């Protein structure tokens, strides 16, 4: 999916968008650290196929007001939030919503003042990505 970081500064540095991840519903999975003389079991949260995955939301911190809002994507929580991009005016943020099956991607524009969806891009287009068909709605 290409996510390499979890924070996204607005163009003029007035806002900081960030991922918030809740893994409380994800099962622990034991990993054995064999690099120690006596092996140590370390549990990590790992969403097994068919089981619950973590829920991710996008927060926006207003640097001047020292206030945080969380964007209402209006979607199921079982999704990826990808391609986080700021509008040059800092009034809008774009978020790609990708389902867990990774075959349906929708790009939405959110107004950060109202905290709600401003524009939903609806143009349908099929693309082939890594030999899997991805349905894009822009």
- Tens-place pLDDT, residues 53-99: 888 889 999 999 999 999 888 766 678 888 899 999 999 999 988 87
Region 124-132: mean pLDDT is: 44
List, for residues 4-22, the tens digit of each pLDDT value. Answer: 788 999 999 999 999 998 8
Question: Could you tell me the sign of the dihedral formed by the alpha carbons of 56, 60, 61, 67, in that order?
Answer: negative
**Edge-to-edge order in the sheet of strand 15-22:** 7-9, 15-22, 55-62, 67-70
pTM listed for this prediction: 0.73
CA distance linking residue 45 with residue 68, whole number of Å = 27
């Amino acid at each position: 999916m290409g996510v390499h970081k979890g924070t996204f500064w607005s163009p003029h540095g007035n806002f900081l968008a960030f991922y918030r991840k809740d893994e409380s519903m994800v099962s622990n999975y034991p990993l054995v650290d064999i690099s120690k003389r006596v092996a140590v079991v370390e549990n990590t949260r790992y969403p097994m196929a068919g089981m619950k995955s973590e829920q991710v939301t996008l927060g926006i911190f207003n640097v001047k007001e020292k206030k945080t809002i969380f964007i209402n994507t209006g979607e199921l929580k079982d999704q990826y939030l990808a391609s986080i991009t700021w509008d040059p005016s800092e009034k809008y943020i774009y978020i790609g919503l990708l389902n867990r099956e990774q075959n349906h991607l929708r790009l939405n524009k959110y107004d950060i003042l109202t905290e709600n969806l401003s524009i939903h891009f609806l143009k349908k287009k099929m693309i082939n990505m890594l030999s899997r068909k991805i349905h894009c709605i822009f």
